[in-house]
Structure 1
Amino acid sequence: MSSPSTQPPEAVISTFYDYYDNYYDAPKPCSKESVRRFAASFLPALYTLAFLLGLLGNSLVVVVLFKYKRLKGMTDVYLLNLAISDLLFVLSLPFWSYFSLDQWVFGTPWCKIISWLYLVGFYSGIFFIMLMSIDRYLAIVRAVFSLKARTAFHGLITSLVVWLVALSASAPELVFREAFPEQNYTTCKQIYPGNFTTWKLLSTLEINILGLLIPSIVMIFCYSMIIKTLVHCRNEKKNKAVRMIFAVMVVFFFFWTPYNIVLFLQLLETLGVLRDCQTSRNLDYAFQVTEILGLFHCCLNPVIYFFMGEKFKKYLKMLFKNWRLPGEACKRCGAHITYHTESTSSFHTQSTGDQDAL
């Protein structure tokens, strides 16, 4: 993802381990010891928190979708795939959390696999957010056409395409990433066969274009057309839908734009445009903060796209009401709990982008 003034051969998408590379590979006059201490002090706790929140929220999404929604529409398929993407993303975090405290002790195979999972989850998650924007656009702006287009089958086909693109974009991690010993310290980074600057340029452009530029263009178009349609539509749910749309856009740009900006500035550092040592340290600090910010976006996805919907709140209540563990525990204490049962048949309806997902 980043590196300091003398760039080591590492990927544009990575985690805190780049800062260990920065520390060892930076020119001697430019000390990165403070950056390394900062990473070791704060990153493990933040990675662990993101892992726990992301694992809990996205696991609940998967369980509720399979138990109640039964994947009957395009929205359901995209929600499931977004949750799986976020789970892939967060499953790599315990490894980086341990690495921030020690060194890479898991060997080259796991170095490749974990880095690859991280990147696949990153790309696929953003792509599915983009597809959900298109899904809402079809449901609200092209309502007649969406009756035929927004089916579970078409959702599965487009999801397959997204996974293929994400896997292809992440393939360099499996090829170039290695566990590499440096000064009695083992790190996990990319070892490029050719000119590092060229690879750095290509990698940064890839993540800026695929991870921000294209999704931003698609989302801005879709949501601007949705708002335009809702403004001319007399609907009591209009204001809520518009607020939800703004929330989706603001959260996406707030969590991911700073990260992409820092990546671009670090590219300028690689190209020699930025040479100051303090600037290099500041970029390292900024990278750590913006990457953590982006990590927590996967924790908010279940809240934004799933639990804020009225029907999904009912599904969640039903899930916990049917959970037997609390009832069994209370029975052992002599207490008796009577749950109010709800018929699930009324909830088994096909998703609509403007009702279920918003």
Structure 2
Amino acid sequence: MDEAVPTTEDYWADIDYDDENNTLSPETSGSMAAPCLQEDIYVFAEKYAPIVYSLVFVLAVVGNVLVLCVIRRYRSSHSSRGCAFSLTDTFLLHLAISDLLLAFTLPLFAVQWAHHWVFGVPLCKISGALFSVNRYSGILFLACISFDRYLAIVHAVTSGWKRNTCHAQVACAIIWVICLGLSGVDIFFKDVKELHLLDQTRGPYCQLWFTDSATQWHVGLQLVSVVLGFGFPLLIMLYCYIQIFRSLCNASRRQKRKSLSLIISLVSVFVFCWAPFNIFQLVDSLHWMGALTGSCTFNKVMDIGTLITESVGLSHCALNPLLYGFVGVKFRRELVKMCKGLLGRRGLLGMEEWRERRHRRFAGSSSSAESENTFYSAMM
């Protein structure tokens, strides 16, 4: 299950329910096994998802907007010196855009869980595609940053011709195209329908709807998500950071200790955020392929576990600015300069307002106000 909402089949253990015909499927109609009641799952999701998604949205927007502002300020302030946009800055820019677009889809799903889907079918498909595109691209951009650091540190002499902005832009374009292609599954299968649970009708909900004939798509999508959205980037990060650490063995003890702590934090946070969700994805795929037998308890654990672990994974888009931005010396320096500039400008504005009120109160002359404005313009 790759989305923020579970599929229809996940709410049934011993029977399959046909939403269009409102009948039991032929495979299980003879046994007439009792259905698994999933009302407690909905109650939990309606309380949990809106709060968590809203919190991740706020933190991700604030952090990634700061990253974009700092990168823009650094680029504009150094453009006159002829400094090219570095590869790391290029990947950080695309990573921040990806995380920001992913965060903008979260309020829609928060509203869905708090009420139901009220935004229509077109926005359902678009938001689902944006969700998939930016989830995949964000993780792949992290792998690109790791590989760039690997070339810069381990192969600093021989990789000079490889590390240029043109190659970085080509790599980013390839990642966006691949992720857009993967989002086609969401555009095709995502729809807005009501859920029929025994004597209750809930919804409408925007989610992936897989029929019995499309089970292969369901399993294939989840396996692609596990491989491309976790396994492949994790292997790249582990290989690159292990090689980087080996190359730093000759560095000073303090520098090596700082590098080791940074490497461990980067890999640990990535694994902590996305490993649990991908484990649930893999188990669910094995269940759909018949390798695991399900039950009511199994389905409830899978539904609640997938919801919780996916929200933990989504929190990575709010942690990326902290890990890949604020830990950098150059980034912190530019952020401090930007904050000082904003505070200084606000201080000048406040001083100007105080001076204008003072002169209006005591002097009341327009010439003094004009001289103050000229001085303010010069100061700015």
Q: TM-score, normalised by structure 1?
A: 0.84
Give, in whole Å, the separation in 2 of the partners of 1:254 and 1:330: 46
Give the residue type in structure 1 aligned to 2:278.
N
Q: Structure 1, residues 107-148: CA drift from partner, whole Å, max 9, x if none?
A: 110010000111111000000000011001001100012322
Give, in whole Å, the separation in 2 of the partners of 1:301 and 1:274: 38
**Contact 2:189 2:208 (8 Å CA) reproduced:** yes
**Mean Cα displacement is larger for which, 67-76 or 79-88?**
67-76
Matched, 1:60 2:66: yes
Match of 1:241 among 239, 245, 259: 259
Q: TM-score, normalised by structure 2?
A: 0.80
TM-aligned CA deviation for residue 300 of structure 1: 0.6
Matched, 1:291 2:320: no
Matched, 1:279 2:267: no
TM-aligned CA deviation for residue 61 of structure 1: 0.5
Give, in whole Å, the separation in 1 of the partners of 2:286 and 2:169: 40
CA gap 1:274/1:332 in 2 versus in 1, 3 angstroms: farther
Match of 2:248 among 227, 230, 238: 230
CA gap 1:58/1:147 in 2 versus in 1, 3 angstroms: same
**Mean Cα displacement is larger for which, 37-46 or 315-324?**
315-324
Give, in whole Å, the separation in 2 of the partners of 1:22 and 1:206: 19
**Contact 1:20 1:187 (8 Å CA) reproduced:** no
Give, in whole Å, the separation in 2 of the partners of 1:76 and 1:328: 32
Matched, 1:124 2:144: no
Give, in whole Å, the separation in 2 of the partners of 1:23 and 1:235: 55
Matched, 1:18 2:38: no
Partner of 2:331: 312
Partner of 2:187: 174
Match of 2:284 among 247, 266, 276: 266
Matched, 1:40 2:46: yes
**Mean Cα displacement is larger for which, 200-209 or 46-55?**
200-209
* 2:3 aligned counterpart, secondary structure: coil
TM-aligned CA deviation for residue 23 of structure 1: 4.4
**Contact 1:44 1:101 (8 Å CA) reproduced:** yes
Partner of 2:377: none
Partner of 1:108: 121
Partner of 2:274: 256
Identity of aligned residues (%): 33
**Contact 2:61 2:103 (8 Å CA) reproduced:** yes
Give, in whole Å, the separation in 2 of the partners of 1:35 and 1:329: 54
Q: Structure 1, residues 315-347: CA drift from partner, whole Å, max 9, x if none?
A: 111111222664266437749xxxxxxxxxxxx
CA gap 1:22/1:102 in 2 versus in 1, 3 angstroms: farther
Matched, 1:331 2:331: no
CA gap 1:190/1:284 in 2 versus in 1, 3 angstroms: closer
Give the residue type in structure 2 aligned to 1:327.
G
Q: Which consecutive unaligned segments of at least 5 residues does structure 2 have?
A: 16-33, 77-83, 356-380
Q: Structure 1, residues 209-265: CA drift from partner, whole Å, max 9, x if none?
A: 101111111111111111111113347533212211111111111111111001111
TM-aligned CA deviation for residue 199 of structure 1: 1.3
Partner of 1:5: none
* 1:231 aligned counterpart, secondary structure: coil
Give, in whole Å, the separation in 1 of the partners of 2:91 and 2:120: 35
Q: Structure 1, residues 73-98: CA drift from partner, whole Å, max 9, x if none?
A: 11110010110110111010000000
**Contact 2:74 2:334 (8 Å CA) reproduced:** yes
CA gap 1:285/1:181 in 2 versus in 1, 3 angstroms: closer
CA gap 1:35/1:181 in 2 versus in 1, 3 angstroms: closer
TM-aligned CA deviation for residue 308 of structure 1: 1.0
Partner of 1:203: 221
Give, in whole Å, the separation in 2 of the partners of 1:33 and 1:223: 45
Give, in whole Å, the separation in 2 of the partners of 1:176 and 1:200: 10
**Contact 1:88 1:120 (8 Å CA) reproduced:** no
CA gap 1:65/1:283 in 2 versus in 1, 3 angstroms: same
Give the residue type in structure 1 aligned to 2:258.
K
Give, in whole Å, the separation in 1 of the partners of 2:106 and 2:8: 17
**Mean Cα displacement is larger for which, 29-38 or 268-277?**
268-277
Give, in whole Å, the separation in 2 of the partners of 1:245 and 1:334: 50
CA gap 1:178/1:25 in 2 versus in 1, 3 angstroms: farther
Partner of 2:56: 50
Give the residue type in structure 2 aligned to 1:231.
C
CA RMSD of superposed structures (Å): 2.3
Partner of 1:350: none
CA gap 1:228/1:202 in 2 versus in 1, 3 angstroms: same
**Contact 1:23 1:33 (8 Å CA) reproduced:** no
Runs of 4+ residues over 6 Å off in structure 1: none
